[in-house]
A and B are shown apart, each in its own frame.
Chain A
Amino acid sequence: MLKRGSQIIWPTLISILLSVMFVTTLAFGVMSASHGMIVYEKAYAKQIALLLDKSGAGMEIKLDVEDVLNLAKENDFKSDVFVLDLEKSLVKVQTRELGGYEVYFFTDLEIETFKIVGDKYLEIKIKDE
């Protein structure tokens, strides 16, 4: 009687355990992919490069970057998240020590301001001619 009982319980228990493991692994994978840093870095680098390409003298741009700043905080990244290299015409976005994304822009600009304001916005001011 007891032997029969254990014969029924064990396969069911293993099956439930495997199902739980499967769902947990899947949920963890989906969650980490949806918080993908590379997507944020890529999207913001490209967006900023396009904004700079499109902009002209005297323009002021204010971009909401709170989500990517929060991501950098979560990763305990202390350096600048957004870096503008005017010599190379390059925008870099980095939310972690190892990694990041960089995109070139082609417009020759004189940038007056490129800084984070209020832990939420990236403010870009282009010098007036």
Chain B
Amino acid sequence: MNKKADKLFSAWQFLIFILVGISIVGIVFIYYGADLDVRDIEVEILNSKLSSCVLDNSYLFFDFVEGKNELDIFKVCNLKQEVFQGDIDFYFKLNFEEGGVSKEIAEGVYTIDADCKIKELVRAENLAVCHETSFSISRGLKKISVTILSASNQRGEKIYD
């Protein structure tokens, strides 16, 4: 009788050990292996940079919408061209609307634009994080509606060499 009870206790003891072990290892991995996702901060910074840029240089954007000049968005807004024209997961789109006519500037990985539309409908963690703001700029009696979409899916890379 005693021997049987001892064996039973031993089996339970090791089962508890295994469960406790799995729980502790799981908690540690969840805590320390956290993804450290900063994409939402990144897109807010990009959005605010572009918004300030449009507001500070509204005369340039007015001329661009009216077709009076070309606009180098990277130079005007202090953004690194190579980053947006490479395969790094950044994207932005500026849409200007004046009296039914619209003009657009879009740079970055274009597929992210579709990600943003999908994310409006469903929750998808692996798709890019998007941020959109709207405001208007005016010159004299003319008013332009501006919509800025910024997005990022940059998670960083491990270096293996």
Binding site for B on A (CB under 8 A): 11, 15, 18-19, 22, 26, 29-30, 33-34, 36, 38-39, 42-43, 45-46, 50, 53-54, 87-89, 92, 94, 98-109
Contacts of A107 in B (CB 8 A): 49, 78-80
Contacts of A22 in B (CB 8 A): 17, 21
Secondary structure type dominating chain B contacts: helix
A98 in contact with B24 given A50-B38, A89-B83, A104-B154 (CB within 8 Å) = no
23 inter-chain pairs at a CB distance below 8 angstroms, sorted by A residue, are A11-B10, A15-B10, A15-B13, A22-B17, A26-B24, A33-B28, A33-B32, A33-B33, A36-B32, A38-B158, A39-B33, A39-B34, A39-B36, A42-B36, A50-B38, A50-B42, A89-B80, A99-B159, A99-B160, A100-B159, A102-B156, A103-B156, A106-B84
A88 in contact with B82 given A22-B21, A29-B28, A54-B45 (CB within 8 Å) = yes
A92 to B45 CA separation, bound complex (whole angstroms): 20
Binding site for A on B (CB under 8 A): 6, 10, 13-14, 17, 21, 24-25, 28-29, 32-34, 36, 38, 41-42, 45-46, 49, 74, 78-84, 88, 90, 154, 156-161
- Contact across chains for A103 and B154 when beta carbons are under 8 A apart: yes
State how many angstroms separate the Cβ of B157 from the closest Cβ of chain A.
Answer: 5
A67 to B13 CA separation, bound complex (whole angstroms): 40
- Contact across chains for A46 and B156 when beta carbons are under 8 A apart: yes
State how many angstroms separate the Cβ of B102 from the closest Cβ of chain A.
Answer: 25
Using CB atoms, name the residue of chain A closest to B34.
Answer: A39
Contacts of B158 in A (CB 8 A): 38, 99-101
- Contact across chains for B159 and A34 when beta carbons are under 8 A apart: no
A100 to B24 CA separation, bound complex (whole angstroms): 26
- Contact across chains for A30 and B90 when beta carbons are under 8 A apart: no
- Contact across chains for B156 and A45 when beta carbons are under 8 A apart: yes
- Contact across chains for A108 and B36 when beta carbons are under 8 A apart: no
